[in-house]
């Protein structure tokens, strides 16, 4: 009898975990969309892993999405945000800068935030950099990242910037299927971690 009760309890716990994960995955999927509001004059591109030969597929997806938007909005200030990981030969910001300038973006319109090591630092250090450079940090901005990342970005943006902001988002595709599957499994857990710890 005790064994059956223990098994029921275990199954109940497993079901609760699966339902919670499903709800979080739903939130991640729901947030994976382009949303432009107002008239953003500043674009923030969030970093991702780089390879010795250049940006990873996920990062290139972000950069190509940004380049598509910049074709119609060529005068925007662009912030590339990402530090240098232990297995990276340069900072993610420098890699993004090199890619954008190679594809025709004026180097004078790009600011490099190269200290951050996670998403909340991306946003916090970007806001600090913009403030130091004399930009209005309450101005309309657009953030570029892969779609799976944007629910967490919106949550953290509200913490970093408070209630006084107008955030637009551009959801880059995740063209590398194995990475896309991995990130859609990882991101619900990252959302919980950020909700609890990234203050």
CB 154 within 8 A of CB 168: no
Entry pTM: 0.90
pLDDT: which is higher, 56 or 174: 56
Q: What is the Cα 14 distance to its own chain's centre?
A: 30
Tokens in use for 130? Answer: 């913009």
Separation of CA 189 from chain center = 15
- Dihedral, CA of residue 181, residue 199, residue 143 and residue 92, to nearest 10: -70
pLDDT at 146: 96
The per-residue pLDDT for range 15-63, each reduced to its tens digit, is 777 777 788 787 778 888 999 998 999 999 999 999 999 999 999 999 9
Distances (CA, A) of 142 to 11, 75, 153: 44, 14, 11
Distance, in Å, from the CA atom of 143 to the CA atom of 171, rounded to the nearest integer, reads 9
Residue showing tokens 């005068």:
75
User: Domain 2-197 in CATH: superfamily?
Assistant: HUPs (3.40.50.620)
Residue partners of 68: CB distance under 8 A and separation at least 6: none
For 120-143, the pLDDT digits (tens) are: 999 999 999 999 999 998 899 999
Q: Of all residues in the chain, what percent carry a pLDDT higher than 70?
A: 97
What is the 3-state secondary structure of 107-160? HHHEEEECCCCCHHHHHHHHHHHHHHCCCCCCCCEEEEEEHHHHHHHHHHHHHH
Q: Of residues 162 and 116, which shows the higher confidence score?
A: 116
Q: From 149, 147, 156, 144, select the one nearest 187 (Cα to Cα).
A: 149
């Amino acid at each position: 009898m005790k064994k059956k009760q223990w098994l029921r309890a275990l199954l109940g716990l497993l079901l609760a975990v699966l339902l919670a994960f499903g709800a979080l995955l739903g939130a991640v999927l729901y947030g994976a969309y382009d949303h432009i509001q107002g008239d953003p004059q500043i674009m923030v591109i969030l970093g991702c892993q780089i390879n010795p030969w250049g940006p990873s597929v996920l990062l290139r997806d972000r950069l190509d999405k940004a380049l598509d938007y910049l074709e119609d909005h060529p005068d925007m200030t662009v912030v590339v945000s990402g530090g240098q990981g232990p297995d990276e030969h340069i900072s993610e910001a420098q890699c993004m800068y090199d890619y954008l300038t190679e594809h025709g973006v004026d180097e004078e319109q790009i600011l490099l935030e190269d200290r951050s090591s996670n998403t909340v630092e991306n946003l916090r250090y970007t806001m600090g950099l913009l403030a130091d450079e004399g930009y209005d940090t309450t101005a309309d901005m657009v953030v570029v990242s892969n779609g799976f990342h944007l629910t967490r970005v919106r949550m953290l943006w509200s913490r970093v910037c408070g209630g006084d902001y107008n955030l637009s988002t551009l959801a880059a595709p995740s063209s590398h299927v194995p990475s896309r599957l991995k990130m859609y499994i990882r991101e619900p857990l990252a959302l919980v971690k950020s909700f609890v710890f990234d203050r």
